[in-house]
Structure 1
Amino acid sequence: MKPIIIIGSGMAGYTLAREFRKLNKEQPLVMISADDAASYAKPTLSNALAGQKHPDQIALANAEKMSQQLNMQILQHAWVEAIHATTHQIQVLHNGQQQQLEYDKLILAVGADPIRLNIAGDRGNDLYAVNCLDEYRAFREKLAQSNHKRVLILGAGLIGCEFANDLQHTDHQVTVVDLAPQVLARLLPTHVADQFQHDLEQIGIKFILGTTVQSIEQEQQHYRVNLANQQHCEADIILSAIGLQPRLALAKQAQLNTSRGIITNQQLATNQADIFAIGDCAEVNGMLLPYVMPLMQQARALAKTLNGEETAVHYPAMPIAVKTPAAPLTLLPIADNIIVEWQTEHFEDGLLSTATDADGRLRGFVLLGATAAKQRLSLSKQVPDLLPLPLHLQPSAG
C-alpha cells in the first residue's frame, strides 16, 4: 500500500496526522521535515519569556516520540526537491542521498516564511525573525546577552504586539515601528486600535507609526536605526515581525495553481489529482487564514477525505485571542468586501465594539478587556459562517 505523505512537520502537518490516525490506524503515513521535526505549538513562541519557558521546554515531543505515537515514518532534515504529479512520486534529498518516494495522497503543509525587508546600512541584515523554534532559540540566545535590553520590533501586527508585550514584561525596553498609522491596522477599527495602543503604552511600550526603517548602522555596541521620517532610535537587537508569505516554490514546480497561497477548493484539493494543501500555505476558496482555528477545521475535514469520506472544510465564526495580557484582546475580523458600521460600548476595563452590515447582521466584533471578553461565545453564535458547508452537505431543516 502506498503511503500518504505529509510535507511539513509544523502544527498543520502534525494535527492532520493526529486526526487521520483517529480514523485509520493502518494506512502508512510518512512525514518529511526540513528540520528536526519536533512537535510544538508555534503560538507559544510569542509569550514564552513571560511564561518563563526556556526554548528547550517548548517542544512537546521529539520526532522519535511522534513517530511512535502516530505510527508514522518521519524523515528529519530532508528536502523535497520535486513533485512528479503524473507519476505520484516525489524526489527527496535525505542524508545526502537522493530518493524517489511514491505516494497515494500528498499533502503540502509547508507553511510560510517571514517577509524580509531590504534595508540599507552596514547592519541592514542584522534582523531576527521568529517563525519556528530554531529561529526563536537563536533570538533568545542573543537576547540573553546582559546588555541587550533595548528591542526594536518592526511590525505592529499580531505577532509584533504579542512579542512587544512579552518582552516589556521581562524588563526589556521595547519600541515598535510600523508603516501603518495604527496598530493591528488590518484587523481593528481606528477607535479600538487607539485604545489598545494606549493600554500597551501604559506598560512602557513605545510606538512609532506611519513610518518605516530606512537604514541600520552599527554605532559602538548598539544599532542606530534611521527612520524614513528623519527620526532615529537606538537598539541592541531588532526583531522583524512584518508578516508571512506562504512557501510556494514547491507548489509552482509541481504546476499547482497559486495566488497568495496554494489554491484549493473546499475539500483542500489542488488542481493536481491527489495533492492537497493545509495550514498557512493553503488558500481555501480565496481565503488565506494563518491562524490556529482554521488549521484545526482543515485538519478534521481533510483527515476524513483521506480516509475515503470526502468532506468539505467548514469555517464557523473563529475569534482570534491576541496574547497581550496588558491589554486583553479578542477579535473576529470582518470578511473582505463587507461594509459595516461599528457600535461601541465602554467599560471600566475596556470596550466592546460590534460591526453590523446594511441588513443589521453581526459580521465581526472586538473585545478589549476582561469584562468584554465574557461575551465572546454569545457574539460568535450570532455571526454567519465565514465558509459555510456546500448546500448539498448542509443538514436539512427537518
Structure 2
Amino acid sequence: MAGTEKQRLVLIGNGMAGVGTLEQIIKLAPSRFDITVIGKEPYPNYNRIQLSYVLEGSKTIDDIVLNGYDWYRDNGITLHTGKEAVRIDTETKRVQLDDESEIEYDSLIVATGSVPFILPVPGADKDGVIGFRDIADCEKMLAAAELGGKAAVIGGGLLGLEAAKGLSKLGMDVTVVHIFDELMERQLDPTASLMLKNELAEQGLKFATGKQTAEILGDEKVTGLRFSDGSELEADFVVMAVGIRPNTVLAKTSGIEVNRGIVVNDFMASSAPDVYSVGECTEHRGICYGLVAPLFEQGMVLAKTLCGVETAPYTGSVLSTKLKISGVDVFSAGEFMDQPDLSVVKMQDDWKRTYKKVLLRDNRIVGGVLFGDVTEAPKVQQWIRAGAEMTEDIYARLMGTVTTDPGSAVAEMADDEIVCGCKGVTKGQIVGAIRENGLTTVDQVKKCTGASSSCGGCRPVVEQILQHVLGDAFDSSAGKTGICECTPLSRDEIVAAIRDKGLTTIKEVMNVLEWSNPEGCSSCRPALNYYLGMLAPAEYRDERESRFVNERYHANIQKDGTFTVVPRMYGGVTTPEDLKKIADVAVKYDVKMVKVTGGQRLDLIGVKKEDLPQVWEELDMPSGYAYAKALRTVKTCVGNRFCRFGTQDSIGLGIDLEKKFERLDMPAKLKMAVNGCPRNCAESSTKDVGIVGNDGGWEIYVGGNGGIKARLADLFCKVKTTEELMEITGAFLQYYRENAKYLERTSDFVERVGLASIHQVVVENAETRKELNARIELALSRTREPWSAVVNDKETKEKLFIGLEAEAVR
C-alpha cells in the first residue's frame, strides 16, 4: 500500500469481538488502514468475561483491561469513548454520533454486542433491579453487596451463576431463581446439572428452580419476587441474567438487514456495501453466538477479508462452555443431550464428584460433558472438531484407565491445533513465540500471543506447552501468583523477607520488596499489617488505617449505613448493671433493635456513625470484637453449675479462655465454644476451637466451621487438666497465627497443612509447644491495655471515627 492513501476503517463497538478483529488486522497489514473506534462506555477495551472476577473481588477493573489507552495511541487508532453511534448513512458512508458529529468510512465494522434481556414483568423498572453485562452493572452490584442483605439472581445459566457466586463471596444471601429444573440446561445434561447444583449449594448458594417470576414486589425499591405459583421470595436486590439479545438497533434504523441479529454471509459482510459485522450482534446462517470463541473466529475471517488475504469462509463454530468463577470445573462442547441416534460413553464417580461423557454418532465424537475433572477438555474439543472416531486408546484416555502424561499430550498436538479458542491462538504460534522471543512464563506468552488473556481456561495447556518446549529449563515457580496483584510474592516469601531483612513498616515492605503499586491495595495492606504485628508484637505499631473498615470503627456497618455495636459478655454471662447500661444507651441513641446473637451476646443494631464514640464511652464495656480478625466469642452451655448432665464447669472455662485470648489478632475471625458434656449444646463441633467436657477431663477439637463452607471439627487431643488445655490451645492458636495465610479460617488451614502435622508440632513436641506459648504470651502482653483506654484515647477517636472510607467490608 506504499504511496497510496490509507483506507478509513471505522469500528462501532469497543468490545472484545471488534477490537479482536483490529488486533488481527494490525498483525496482517499494520499500515493499510486509518482506524477509528467508537465506544459507548467510558473505558478502553476490557475483558467482559472477567467481570465476574471483579464482582467477587479477585480482580479490579484495571486488571481486566485488555488494551489500554497506550495501545490505541501506539497503533495510531483514534478512540472515541463515551459516545454512541446513532445512525449509519450507507450511501454517503458516514456514521452519525450522539453528539451530532460525523465520521466517514471506506469500510465499517459493526460490533455493538448484545444487551441483557429484562423480563417483561410488573416491577422490572424498580430500583434495585439490574442486568449484568458491563462495568456499570458490576459497580451497582458491588455497591449493593456493601449494604448486605438478600439478592435474587434470575437465571440459572452461565452468567447468572457467575453473578450469584460473586455476590455470595461478597457476603450477600443469594438465591438463584430459574424457570427450569436444571441449571445451565443449554450446556449440561441433567446429571451434570444436578452435580453442579449440589456443589454450589454446599458453597452457600440457594436455589428456587422450576419457578417462573411473575412480579417484582416493592414500592419504588424492590422487596422481593412473586412467582407464578403464588409463592414469594424476599430480596433487597435483583439481578436479571435470563439471557441476552443482539444489539441491532443501530443496524435496523440504518436500513441494514436484521433478523434476530445483523445478517452476514460467510465473510461477515452485511447487506450494506462495505459494512461488516462480528460478535454477539451478528447472525450467521441463522445462529447468533453468545460465547467468546466464535466471535474471535469470525474476527479472524473478517480481518483476512479486509486485508485481502486468502481465507476459508466462516462456516460456524463448535460451542464449548466452561464455568469460570465458582471453583467448580465444568466443561461442555458440541452435542450434550442423549438422543436416539447417539451412542453414549460415560463414567460417574459420586465419591470424587467427577462425571465424563462423550456422545457418538456413527462412532464419531460429536459432543462431550466433563464435571470435576476437565483435564481432557482441550482434547475432547479437538476430537469434536475433527469428528474423531472413537478408539480403544481414546476410550482408555477419557475414562482414566490409562494415565496420560501432560507432556506427551501436548507433544501429540498438531501445530495448527487451536489452544486458545477465545483468541484463536494455535500451538504452533505459541511454540514459535516461545522460541523466537525467549519466553519463560505463561504471562509472557499471554502478552506476546494473547493466549489465556480472555477466559483463562487454556492456561494449564499453555503451561504444558512451555514445559514441553523448555524442557529442563522450565521453572514451574516462575510467574507464580502473589498474595495480590501488587506483588508476585507469596505469603511465605513475604513473611520470610520481613523476618530476614528486619522490615518494620508496611511502606518499608512495599519499597524493599518492590511492590508494583507503591500504595498497595485493600487486599495486601491488611495482610501486611497482620504479618508485621504477628512477627514483632512488642515493636510493631499497628497501622489502623490499613485495617478493614469494620475494625477501624469497632462496629459492623449495615445496609442502611448505620452500625451494630456488640459489647463483650464473657461466656454469655452478664450482670444487671451491664444490662442497664445497654438499655440506657439503646434508649438514648435511638437504637433500632437490640438482638440476642448466636454468640450469646446483645447486639445494638442501628447506631449512627457519629454516635459510636459516645456509645462505647457510656457502655464502658469491652468490645465483643464481632467485626475483627480475632477471637469473636466463646460460646458456653451452663455446665455442671446447673445442668444435671454437666460433668465440667464450661462457663468458668469459657470465661477464662475468652479473657485470655480476647483482642489478639488472628489471620481470620475465630470462634470457640465449651461444652460441659458431650451433648454439644454450645455447638463445639462447628467452632475453630471446640472444648467438650467429660468425666475424665476435656476433649479439644479444631478446624470446625459453621459458615458457608461448613466443616465438623477434628478431635485434636484429650487432656486431664485445665492447665494442659490452656497450654495446648495457646500453642495451637500461635501455630495457626504464624503459619496461616491472611483471611484463612482454621477449617481451611487444618485441611491445607494436615491435622497430623499440626498435632506433631503442638501436642507431641513439648519443647515446640513451650516456645509457641512463649510467643503467644508476648503477643498477648500487647493487648492488656484496658479497653476504655483503647477506644477513648484522642488519637483513636480522630482516626477511627472520621470519614467512612469506600472499601469492601469483610
TM-score, with normalisation over the residues of structure 2?
Answer: 0.44
CA shift in 2, pair 1:206/1:318, >3 Å? same
In the aligned structure 2, how far is the partner of 1:251 from the partner of 1:342? 43
Alignment of structure 1 residues 298-317 onto 2, 5 Å: 298-311=298-311, 312-313=313-314, 317=318
Q: Equivalent of 2:364, from 361, 375, 386? A: 361
1:258-288 deviation digits (Å, cap 9, x = unpaired): 2221111111111222111001111122222
CA shift in 2, pair 1:84/1:49, >3 Å? closer
Q: Does 1:22 pair with 2:24?
A: no
In the aligned structure 1, how far is the partner of 2:263 from the partner of 2:182? 31
In the aligned structure 2, how far is the partner of 1:221 from the partner of 1:88? 45
User: Residue 123 of structure 1 contacts residue 217 of structure 1 at CA under 8 Å; is this kept in 2?
Assistant: no
In the aligned structure 2, how far is the partner of 1:46 from the partner of 1:341? 36
Name the counterpart of 1:41.
47
Structure 2 counterpart SS, 1:305: helix
Alignment of structure 1 residues 96-245 onto 2, 5 Å: 96=99, 98-121=100-123, 124=126, 126-145=128-147, 148-218=148-218, 223-245=223-245
Q: Equivalent of 1:81, from 76, 79, 86? A: 86
Name the counterpart of 2:603.
none
Q: Which stretch of structure 1 is more off in the superposition, 185-194 or 116-125?
A: 116-125
Structure 2 counterpart SS, 1:374: coil
Structure 2 counterpart SS, 1:211: coil
Cα offset, 1:336, TM superposition: 11
In the aligned structure 2, how far is the partner of 1:7 from the partner of 1:153? 31
Structure 1 counterpart SS, 2:294: helix
Cα offset, 1:61, TM superposition: 4.9
Cα offset, 1:23, TM superposition: 1.5
Structure 2 counterpart SS, 1:128: strand
CA shift in 2, pair 1:88/1:336, >3 Å? farther
TM-score, with normalisation over the residues of structure 1?
Answer: 0.87
Q: Which stretch of structure 1 is more off in the superposition, 126-135 or 314-323?
A: 314-323
In the aligned structure 2, how far is the partner of 1:158 from the partner of 1:293? 15
Alignment of structure 1 residues 46-57 onto 2, 5 Å: 46-55=52-61, 57=63
Q: Equivalent of 2:12, from 3, 7, 30? A: 7
Cα offset, 1:318, TM superposition: 4.8
User: Residue 145 of structure 2 contacts residue 171 of structure 2 at CA under 8 Å; is this kept in 1?
Assistant: no
Q: Which has the higher helix share?
A: 2
Residue ranges of structure 1 left out of the alignment (5+ in a row): 387-398
Name the counterpart of 2:580.
none
CA shift in 2, pair 1:78/1:325, >3 Å? closer
Structure 1 counterpart SS, 2:297: helix
Structure 1 counterpart SS, 2:36: strand
In the aligned structure 2, how far is the partner of 1:284 from the partner of 1:249? 18
CA shift in 2, pair 1:199/1:383, >3 Å? same
In the aligned structure 2, how far is the partner of 1:336 from the partner of 1:101? 48
CA shift in 2, pair 1:282/1:208, >3 Å? same
Q: Does 1:277 pair with 2:282?
A: no
In the aligned structure 2, how far is the partner of 1:325 from the partner of 1:138? 21
Q: CA RMSD in A?
A: 2.6
CA shift in 2, pair 1:227/1:341, >3 Å? farther
Name the counterpart of 2:377.
376
Q: Which has the higher strand share?
A: 1
Q: Equivalent of 1:349, from 345, 349, 353? A: 353
CA shift in 2, pair 1:187/1:341, >3 Å? farther
Name the counterpart of 1:394.
none
Residue ranges of structure 2 left out of the alignment (5+ in a row): 1-5, 388-810
User: Residue 248 of structure 1 contacts residue 262 of structure 1 at CA under 8 Å; is this kept in 2?
Assistant: yes
1:153-196 deviation digits (Å, cap 9, x = unpaired): 00001101122223333432210111122111222222221121
User: Residue 177 of structure 1 contacts residue 208 of structure 1 at CA under 8 Å; is this kept in 2?
Assistant: yes
In the aligned structure 1, how far is the partner of 2:94 from the partner of 2:337? 38
CA shift in 2, pair 1:333/1:236, >3 Å? farther
CA shift in 2, pair 1:204/1:142, >3 Å? closer
Q: Which stretch of structure 1 is more off in the superposition, 204-213 or 313-322?
A: 313-322
In the aligned structure 1, how far is the partner of 2:123 from the partner of 2:289? 34
| Aligned-partner residue type, residue 15 of structure 2 | G
In the aligned structure 1, how far is the partner of 2:47 from the partner of 2:114? 15
Name the counterpart of 1:72.
77
Aligned residues: 377
User: Residue 124 of structure 2 contacts residue 216 of structure 2 at CA under 8 Å; is this kept in 1?
Assistant: yes
User: Residue 153 of structure 2 contacts residue 164 of structure 2 at CA under 8 Å; is this kept in 1?
Assistant: yes
Q: Which stretch of structure 1 is more off in the superposition, 154-163 or 207-216?
A: 207-216
Cα offset, 1:302, TM superposition: 1.2
Cα offset, 1:20, TM superposition: 0.9
| Aligned-partner residue type, residue 80 of structure 1 | A
CA shift in 2, pair 1:202/1:329, >3 Å? same
Structure 2 counterpart SS, 1:118: coil
In the aligned structure 2, how far is the partner of 1:157 from the partner of 1:335? 15
Q: Does 1:291 pair with 2:296?
A: no
Structure 2 counterpart SS, 1:383: helix
In the aligned structure 1, how far is the partner of 2:141 from the partner of 2:168? 15
CA shift in 2, pair 1:72/1:335, >3 Å? farther
Share of identical aligned residues, percent? 23
In the aligned structure 1, how far is the partner of 2:141 from the partner of 2:219? 21
Q: Does 1:261 pair with 2:261?
A: yes
Q: Which stretch of structure 1 is more off in the superposition, 375-384 or 268-277?
A: 375-384
| Aligned-partner residue type, residue 116 of structure 1 | I
User: Residue 224 of structure 2 contacts residue 236 of structure 2 at CA under 8 Å; is this kept in 1?
Assistant: no
Q: Which stretch of structure 1 is more off in the superposition, 182-191 or 326-335?
A: 326-335
Cα offset, 1:115, TM superposition: 0.4
